[in-house]
Amino acid sequence: MVQERGKLLSAGEDQLRERLELYVRHMAWLQAVPDDSKAKKTRYEILELEEEYFKQPSPLKQLPELTGFEMAYISHLQEFGFCSSNGMGLEPVSFSEIKAWADLQKIELEPFEARILHGLSVAYVAQANKSTKPDSKSPYLPEEQEKRKAFAEKMRHEALKERAKSNTKNKNRR
């Protein structure tokens, strides 16, 4: 775990947080009950009914793919809870609750790991509150993610071609 933690730190806390937040935001969206839902069903349950009716799977039920290491954070979050209730609604899990859970589990969390877990709880609560609106859009669309990846790869390829052209011109000048 220490070796993987080192890789994680070099990859960047922000990138990890971004990937995990997308996952928990989509999970909150799927678990939300829209205000106009007469049957009081979650979006996930509604999508299952639509799949049954239309006889085809819904891409909206799909969660973003995470590595096993990234899923460890989601498992921790599931274990102590994505959020708390304050009597008026949902609220993020506090740092003291995260620390108490880690102490009971005999898990030594690094400060950045506690920040990530707290941030995930904040993202979950924010999305859960937004997702009760009937017109709330899914934070994750698998096709859109693939298009973005393809576009980013195309842009990277174009930048490499430009760099190669520039290097060739510089060599010819010498």
Q: What is the pLDDT of residue 39?
A: 76
The token duo for 13 is: 């806390």
pLDDT band per the 50, 70, 90 thresholds, residue 12: confident
**Which comes out higher in pLDDT, residue 146 or 99?**
99
Report phi then psi at 84, rounded to 5: -120, 170
Please, which residues have CB within 8 angstroms of residue 118's CB and are 6 or more apart in sequence? 92, 93, 94, 95, 98
- Separation of alpha carbons 5 and 110, rounded Å: 10
For residues 81 and 105, membership in a common domain is answered with yes
- Please state, as a whole number, how many other Cβ atoms lie within 10 Å of the Cβ of residue 31: 16
Surface-to-core class of residue 89, CB atoms within 10 Å of its CB (0-12 exposed, 13-18 middle, 19+ buried): exposed
- Separation of alpha carbons 51 and 35, rounded Å: 21
The total domain count for the chain is 2
The token duo for 171 is: 């060599």
Give the mean pLDDT of the chain: 86
pLDDT(1) > 80? no
- Separation of alpha carbons 174 and 165, rounded Å: 15
For residues 72 and 55, membership in a common domain is answered with yes
User: Contact at 8 Å (CB) between 77 and 20?
Assistant: no
> Could you tell me how many residues make up the chain?
174
pLDDT in tens, 127-168: 999 999 999 999 998 766 666 566 666 777 777 777 777 777
For residues 125 and 160, membership in a common domain is answered with no
Q: What is the pLDDT of residue 23?
A: 96
For residues 150 and 64, membership in a common domain is answered with no
Which DSSP helix (H) or strand (E) runs through 140? none
- Separation of alpha carbons 157 and 16, rounded Å: 24
pLDDT in tens, 59-98: 899 999 999 999 999 999 999 999 999 989 999 999 999 9
Residue 77 belongs to what domain range?
2-139
**Identity (one letter) of the amino acid at 172?**
N
For residues 99 and 174, membership in a common domain is answered with no
For residues 17 and 38, membership in a common domain is answered with yes
For residues 125 and 163, membership in a common domain is answered with no
Q: What is the pLDDT of residue 90?
A: 94
For residues 90 and 146, membership in a common domain is answered with no
pTM: 0.74
Report phi then psi at 144, rounded to 5: -65, -40
For residues 154 and 97, membership in a common domain is answered with no
